[in-house]
Amino acid sequence: MKVEMPVEPLKPADFASDQEVRWCPGCGDYAILAQVKKTLPGLGIPKEKIVFISGIGCSSRFPYYMNTYGFHSIHGRAMAVASGLKIARPDLNVWVVTGDGDGLSIGGNHLLHAIRRNIDMTVLLFNNRIYGLTKGQYSPTSEVGKRTKTSPRGSVDFPLHPLSVAIGAEASFVARALDVDLKHLGYVLERAAKHKGTSFVEIYQNCNIFNDGAYSYATDKGTKHDTRLILEHGKPLIFGKDREKGIRLNCTDPEIVTLGDGISEDDLLFHDEKAAEPSLAYLLTRMHHPNFPEAFGVFRAVERPCYEYVLDEMSDSTPPPQGAEDAEIDALLNSGDTWVVD
């Protein structure tokens, strides 16, 4: 990426816009906003080169709170707007902020296609498993049986899992973080921002108004060690308060094992985020509470050509100097079979 280094290092506060932040008090979005502002200075990209693009939903207010270029577009279409912007201007650093409704329901199609094209941008999907802005209807990630205003007897919709979808769409970077685990969130954001290609990050985000406690299993002190597994590249999959449990592959299925009693770390599944084939990363996205601990961190980070850079190479994108375009246009107009009438 062609970026100039800023003269003075930026601070998180430099990224705050003059707009009052209007999420509900206690909303998980605040923590994510703060962490993004903390991450940006470290990237060394001038803020005028950064663009935040969103769709519609609580999370999509995000660009208004960033003192960068921003575009609060329409419902579900952030990925498409961002794709056009990034293709036209490969020099920009582009972030998409979306939610489970915006990104996976109305905007599902665009999400798949931007990911498969591997357009170099960082996509943050705030997953709160509910429609917040419209005041509490079930979303594509809500669990079956969820009672909401549009599913008074329990939702009959089978949910989908954002990271499984992203891998199915050939994502080159897939990660998951938790709104309240600031340090780990910061690590994931930085990794995502530095990855070249579409970086897809699912952030578990608590909507304390309409779906409070959706992730309490992963945040409560008492349970979090058994329900979360932090991924580290090249390391075995270990979790538990005393790191006493691990994930082993039994045929093609993961299984929880306790270390000791003849089972050593070497018997466990080792995490390889750079694996060429995404099968094991996909398997990790299928581990769900309560049967398994849920994985956090970078599931997959592989190199693959980015649509907009390849296209840019193919096209002669620098306009000729002022006045010199005449010859170029005349050549275009006179292309094909011509004849002269005198």
Partner 1 sequence: MATSTAPTSKRTMVERKEHATVTIRFCGDSGDGMQLAGTQFTNSSSIFGNDVATLPDFPAEIRAPAGSLPGVSGFQINFSSHEIHTPGDRVDTMVAMNPAALKTNYKDVVPGGIILVNEDAFSKTNLQKAGLDVSPLEDATLRDYHVYKLPMGKLTTEAASGFGLSNKGVNRCKNFFALGVICWLYERPLAPIESWINSKMGRTPAVADANTATLRAGWNYCDTIELFPHAYRVAKAKIAPGTYRKITGNEATAIGLATAARRAGKELFIGSYPITPATTILETLAAMPQMGVKTFQAEDEIAAMCSTVGAAFAGACAVTSTSGPGLALKGEAMGLAVMTELPMVIVNVQRGGPSTGLPTKTEQSDYLQAMWGRNGECPMPVLAACTPSDCFEMAVEAMRIAVQYMTPVILLTDGYLANGSEPWKIPKSSSLPRFDVVHPTNSNGEAFLPYKRNERGARPWAIPGTKGLEHRIGGLEKQAETGNVNYDPDNHQRMICERADKVAKVADSIPDLKIDGNPDAELLVVGWGSTYGAITTAVERANKRGQKVAHVHLRYLNPMPKNTEDVMKRFKKVIVPEMNMGQLIIKLRSDFLIDAKGINKVQGKPFLVSDIEAAIESALGEG
| Residues engaged in binding partner 1 (CB under 8 A) | 17, 19, 46-49, 51, 53, 56, 63-64, 66-74, 77, 79-89, 91-92, 109-110, 112-113, 311-312, 314-320, 322, 325-330, 332-334, 336-342
| CA geometry: angle 194, 195, 199, nearest 5 deg | 115
Rounded to whole angstroms, the Cα distance separating 281 from 299 reads 5
Q: Of the listed pieces 3-11, 22-30, 260-268, 279-287, which binds ligand SF4 according to CB under 6 A? A: 22-30
Pick the binder of ligand SF4 from 67, 137, 151, 208 (CB under 6 A).
208
Separation CA 40–CA 153 (nearest Å): 44
Least distance to ligand SF4 from the beta carbon of 187, Å? 23
Please, what is the minimum distance in Å from the beta carbon of residue 22 to partner 1? 10
Instruction: State the minimum distance, in angstroms, from the CB of residue 253 to ligand SF4.
Output: 35
Q: How crowded is residue 234: how many other Cβ atoms within 10 Å of its Cβ? A: 9
Instruction: Kindly tell me which of 11 and 135 has the beta carbon lying closer to ligand SF4.
Output: 135
Q: Do residues 154 and 147 touch, judged by C-beta distance below 8 A?
A: yes
Q: Which stretch binds ligand SF4 (CB under 6 A): 190-198, 205-213, 236-244, 263-271?
A: 205-213
- Taking every pair of Cα atoms in the chain, the longest distance, rounded to a whole number of angstroms, is 98
Query: Which residues, 27 to 46, sit near ligand SF4 by CB under 6 A?
Result: 27, 29
Nearer Cβ to ligand SF4 (124/295): 124
Q: Which one among 207, 238, 247, 298 touches ligand SF4, defined by CB under 6 A?
A: 207
204 counts as binding ligand SF4 under rule CB under 6 A: no
Residue whose token pair is 């005198």? 342
Q: What residues between 131 and 150 interact with ligand SF4 by CB under 6 A? A: 132
Structure-derived torsion over alpha carbons of residues 162, 164, 168, 170, reported in degrees to the nearest 10? 80
Given candidates 51, 58, 94, 203, which one binds ligand SF4 under the rule CB under 6 A?
58
Q: Please report how the helices 78-88 and 307-314 are oriented relative to each other, as an axis angle in degrees rounded to 10.
A: 30
Integer Cα distance of 303 and 315 in angstroms: 23
Q: Let me know: does 85 contact 53? Beta carbons within 8 Å.
A: yes
| Listed ranges 13-21, 203-211, 222-230, 249-257: which one lies at the site for ligand SF4 (CB under 6 A) | 203-211
| Residue 94: its H or E element | strand 93-99
**Beta carbon nearer to partner 1, 8 or 242:** 8
Residue 238 CA to residue 168 CA, distance in Å, equals 26
Q: Is the Cβ–Cβ distance between 269 and 79 less than 8 Å? A: no
Binding region for ligand SF4 (CB under 6 A): 23-24, 27, 29, 58, 128, 132, 207-210
